[in-house]
Amino acid sequence: MYKYFLYFIIFSCAFSCAPYDKKELLGAWQAVEVTEEGRVLNLNPSEINLNFNKDDYEFNSTISYKEAGHYKLDGKFLITKDSLNPSQDIKKVEILSLSRDSLKLKMKEADKLRILKLKRKG
């Protein structure tokens, strides 16, 4: 009996102990700060928006850069595939934190560490 209970606990934890859930990510997000190598970038963060629905995402950034496509969560990583630019590789960024009203992403841009802090819109 103990053996079955242990299997149940391990199996349950494997599916429920993931750090983040897609439901927590759903909605519209707006950047409040972008840092690169620890320094705040001189840009207007309000131009950077990220929207998630059940399976798709849309990303709008400065200088009219756009992405849209499918996304998934893999542990603490957000994985996106841009369908507007099909030649682009799959992107993988680390979710440093996610709460009801804030999201913090870690990524590499031109071999430099970049942190994107966002707040939930609305």
pLDDT in tens, 3-12: 554 444 544 4
Query: Is residue 7 a part of any domain in this protein?
Result: no
CATH number at residue 42: 2.40.128.280
Q: Kindly state the tokens that stand for 20.
A: 């983040």
> Is 107 inside a domain boundary?
yes
Instruction: Quickly state the pLDDT bin for 88 (edges 50, 70, 90).
Output: confident
Q: Identify the domain containing residue 59 by its residue range.
A: 20-120
Using the CB atoms, write b or e for 88-104: b if 16+ within 10 Å.
eeebebebeebeeeebe
- Asked whether residue 56 is domain-assigned, the answer is yes
Of the given ranges (32-36, 54-58, 87-91, 97-101), which has the lowest mean pLDDT?
87-91
Does some domain include residue 104?
A: yes
Asked if residue 1 is part of any domain, the answer here is no
Question: Does the pLDDT of residue 81 top 80, yes or no?
Answer: yes
5 falls within a domain: no
pTM: 0.83
Count of structural domains within the chain? 1
